[in-house]
């Protein structure tokens, strides 16, 4: 097994970047989901509610972030200064004391979404714990839904596409790491895995939601609810399992630091 592709999501729910390496930190890949859009009530906004968010391209640079989208001029967003205003933002059931990214980013997002919005950044002063039912004390995550990374086998997508009337790309599922050379859903059986030079704990299958029905090319939802509808026919967790719902992919927590590269070997440890 090997790393087939690597993906970074600088701004939660927006377009992914295909990359050759990921520098792994305790919170996940450096630069992954460190930025978040919030509404006027400081609650997180995602493509679950606003499918057009997948049309925003966020490019990280040394001093901040560039935001770009069709029909809107790009804007540079500097990294918030250490003394920047902070906002108590809500993501799922968590509250995070994040740094506000300023008026220019807020104006750009408000124009794009057509509703008041602001951009916040998870800096070193912001903290968010991993669900203690699946992590260890001290485990942290950025603005990903719940865990620092997510991995999917390419064979799992191939098996899904064989069941669908029209195939879907891996971008529907927003993994950080795609594994080639394995059986479909090999990741279901992992508890610990070494990818390149980094060791990870496989803590929980990834529960899927309506976001998988958003086509990143058209920024619209599939009218038939695919691929979630088909996944529900064969990937629903059985009664009594530690997780519920439809699963596809595996959540990982890093147990060491280092760099993962495209082509690296993937070795289950136990």
pLDDT at 263: 98
Q: State mean pLDDT over 110-119.
A: 98
pLDDT at 240: 79
**Residue 102, pLDDT above cutoff 90:** yes
Element (H, E) at 109: helix 103-113
pLDDT at 238: 85
CATH architecture of 2-28+134-268: Beta Barrel (2.40)
Q: 250: pLDDT confidence band, cut at 50, 70 and 90?
A: very high
83-92 long-range Cβ contacts below 8 angstroms, 24+ apart:
86/125, 87/38, 87/42, 87/118, 87/120, 88/42, 89/36, 89/38, 89/42, 89/43, 89/44, 89/120, 90/38, 90/41, 90/42, 90/43, 90/44, 91/36, 91/44, 91/128, 91/143, 92/44, 92/145, 92/146
The full 3-state SS of 128-146, as one line of letters, equals CECCCCCCCCCCECCCCCC
Overall pTM surpassing 0.85 (yes/no): yes
**Residues linked to residue 194 through DSSP beta bridges, in sequence order:** 199, 267
Domain positions in the chain: 2-28+134-268, 34-121
For 139-177, what is each residue's pLDDT tens digit? 999 999 999 999 999 999 999 999 999 999 999 999 999
């Amino acid at each position: 097994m090997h790393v087939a592709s690597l993906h970074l999501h600088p701004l939660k729910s927006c377009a992914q970047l295909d990359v050759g390496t990921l520098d792994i930190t305790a919170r996940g890949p450096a630069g992954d989901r460190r930025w978040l859009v919030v509404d006027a009530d400081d609650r997180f906004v995602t493509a679950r509610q606003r499918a057009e968010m997948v049309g925003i391209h966020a490019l990280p640079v040394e001093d901040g972030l560039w935001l770009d989208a069709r029909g809107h001029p790009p804007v540079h967003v500097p990294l918030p200064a250490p003394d920047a205003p902070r906002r108590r933002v809500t993501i799922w059931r968590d509250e995070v004391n994040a740094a506000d990214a300023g008026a220019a980013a807020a104006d750009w997002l408000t124009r794009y979404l057509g509703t008041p919005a602001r951009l916040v950044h998870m800096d070193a002063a912001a903290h968010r714990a991993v669900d203690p039912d699946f992590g260890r004390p001290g485990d942290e995550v950025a603005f990903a839904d719940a865990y620092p990374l997510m991995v999917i086998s390419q064979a799992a997508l191939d098996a899904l596409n064989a069941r669908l009337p029209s195939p879907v790309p891996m971008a529907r599922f927003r993994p950080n790491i795609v594994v080639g050379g394995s059986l479909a859903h090999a990741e279901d059986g992992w508890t610990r895995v070494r990818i390149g030079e980094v060791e990870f704990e496989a803590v929980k299958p990834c529960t899927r939601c309506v976001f998988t029905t958003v086509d990143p090319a058209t920024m619209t939802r599939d009218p038939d609810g695919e691929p979630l509808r088909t996944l529900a026919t064969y990937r629903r967790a059985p009664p009594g399992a530690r997780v519920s719902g439809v699963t596809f992919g595996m959540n990982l927590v890093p147990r060491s630091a280092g760099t993962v590269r495209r082509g690296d070997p993937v070795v289950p440890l136990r």
